[in-house]
Amino acid sequence: MSIEAFIFDVDGTLADTEEAHRVAFNNAFERYRLGWCWTPEAYRELLHTTGGKERIAAYLATKTLSTSDRRRLTELIPAIHAEKTRFYSSFVADGAIPLRPGVRRLIEETLAAGCRLAIASTTTAANVDALLRSNFGEQGLAMFSVIACGDQVRAKKPAPDIYRLALQHLGLQPEQAVAFEDSRNGLRAATEAGLWTVITPTFWTEDHDFDGAALVLPHLGEPGQPLDGEPGGKLRDAAWLTFDEVARRADQRPRSGIDAVYAGTAGVHG
Ligand code: XBP
Ligand code: MG
C-alpha cells in the first residue's frame, strides 16, 4: 500500500504555539479576575493534559476550594475557555505565529506529489482556522482534505480517536498515511491508530519519551535551515526531511510482527 496522506498535528508541529496559548489562558484568567497565572514551568506540566477545557479542569483539581466555589468555577470553564480562544485566535490572526521550519515546504511537496493533507489536533477548530488562514491565506483550509480537531471526539489525545476519525474521513487504512506530531500524547494517539509517526519536538515537549516514533528530528528542515549532521545521520536524501524520503520509509516499514522479524534479519532469510 502506498502512502496517500500526511496527517499533521497542529500545536507544536505545524507551529510553535504553546507560549501564545499560555498567554491567552492568563489573559482570560485576568478577564474573569480569577487571580490565576500559569508560569512557563507550570504550563509545561499542565500540557500533559490535552485540551484547553480539560487543562483548566486539571488545574482546578489541584486547588483547595469550597464545594460551592469548585462547582461555580467548574461551571465557568466553558466561558473562560471561550474567552481564551478569542485571545488566542486574535494573536494568530495578527500573524504572530509562523509555521515551523520545513512545514510549508513539506506541505507543498506533499500536494505536488498528489498526496492529500489532513489535520488531527486536540485544539479548538477556531484556532486551526486562524492558523491556516494567517499562514496560507484564504485557501489555507481548502489545502487540507480533512480537519479533525477539538471536541469532534470525546476522548482526546493520547486516545487514538482523533486519528481514527481523520483516517475514516480520508477513507484510508493506517498503512496508507503518515502522522506528524510533537508530543508524547500525540505520538501515543497516532501509533495506537496504527500510524507511522514522525516527531519534531519543541521546547515544551523536548523532554518527552518518544519511544515508538519512526523518526525524531529537531524540526523538518529546509534548504535555508538544514538539519545538523544531515544527510547521513538519520536522513538519506537531503539535510531536510523530504516528501520522497517520508513516503519511501513509511512504505517500507514492517507490516506485521512477522515482517518486522524478517525486516530485522534481512539477508538471513531474504
Ligand atoms: C495541543 C493541545 C491543545 C492546545 C490548546 O493540541 O493539547 O489543548 O494546547 O488549545 P495538538 P485549546 O493536538 O494540536 O498538539 O485550548 O483549543 O485546547
Ligand atoms: Mg501537538
In a domain, 65, yes or no: yes
Q: Please write the tens of the pLDDT for every residue from 138-187.
A: 999 999 999 999 999 999 999 999 999 999 999 999 999 999 999 999 99
Q: Give the pLDDT score at 260.
A: 55
Chain mean position to CA 270? 37
Q: Do 139 and 49 belong together in one domain?
A: no
Q: Please write the tens of the pLDDT for every residue from 104-115.
A: 999 999 999 999
Distance 212 CA to ligand 2 centre (A): 16
Ligand 1: nearest atom to the Cα of 10: 14
Alpha carbons 162 and 81: distance in angstroms, whole number: 20
Could you give the strand order of the β-sheet that contains 196-199, starting from the edge strand earlier in sequence? Answer: 146-149, 116-121, 5-8, 177-181, 196-199, 215-216
Distance 9 CA to ligand 1 centre (A): 10
Total of domains in the chain: 2
Q: What is the dihedral of CA 18, 93, 77, 54, to 10 degrees?
A: -40
Q: How confident is the model at residue 59 (pLDDT cuts 50, 70, 90)?
A: very high
| CATH classification of the domain holding 55 | 1.10.150.240
Active site residue 207: no
Q: Please write the tens of the pLDDT for every residue from 42-51.
A: 999 999 999 9
| CATH classification of the domain holding 141 | 3.40.50.1000
Q: What is the CA radius of gyration of the chain?
A: 20
Alpha carbons 25 and 82: distance in angstroms, whole number: 10
Q: Do 27 and 132 belong together in one domain?
A: no
List pocket residues of ligand 1, CB cut-off 6 Å: 9-12, 18, 21, 50-52, 85, 121-124, 127, 157, 186
Q: How confident is the model at residue 96 (pLDDT cuts 50, 70, 90)?
A: confident
Q: Do 157 and 236 belong together in one domain?
A: yes
Tell me which residue range forms the domain holding 28.
Answer: 18-93
Handedness of CA 85, 54, 27, 12 (dihedral sign): negative
Q: Do 118 and 213 belong together in one domain?
A: yes
Q: Do 22 and 78 belong together in one domain?
A: yes
Q: Give the pLDDT score at 34.
A: 98
Q: Give the pLDDT score at 218.
A: 98
Q: Please write the tens of the pLDDT for every residue from 175-222.
A: 999 999 999 999 999 999 999 999 999 999 999 999 999 999 999 999
Q: How far is CA 133 from CA 142, 181, 193, in A?
A: 10, 21, 28
Among candidate residues 13, 145, 33, the one with its CA nearest the CA of residue 80:
33
Active site residue 11: yes
In the structure grid, which three cell numbers stand for residue 153, read together?
471526539
Q: Do 83 and 108 belong together in one domain?
A: no
Q: Are the C-beta atoms of 177 and 6 separated by less than 8 Å?
A: yes
In the structure grid, which three cell numbers stand for residue 149, read together?
480537531
Q: Do 26 and 40 belong together in one domain?
A: yes
- Can you give the pTM of this predicted structure? 0.94
Q: Do 159 and 131 belong together in one domain?
A: yes
Beta partners for residue 198, in sequence order: 180, 215
Beta strands at 116-121 and 177-181: parallel, antiparallel or unpaired: unpaired
Counting ligands in written order, the one closest to the CA of 18 is 1
Which of the following is catalytic: 11, 16, 161, 182? 11
Ligand 1: nearest atom to the Cα of 51: 8
Residue nearest to atom 10 of ligand 1 (CA): 123
Please give the single-letter amino acid code of residue 85: T
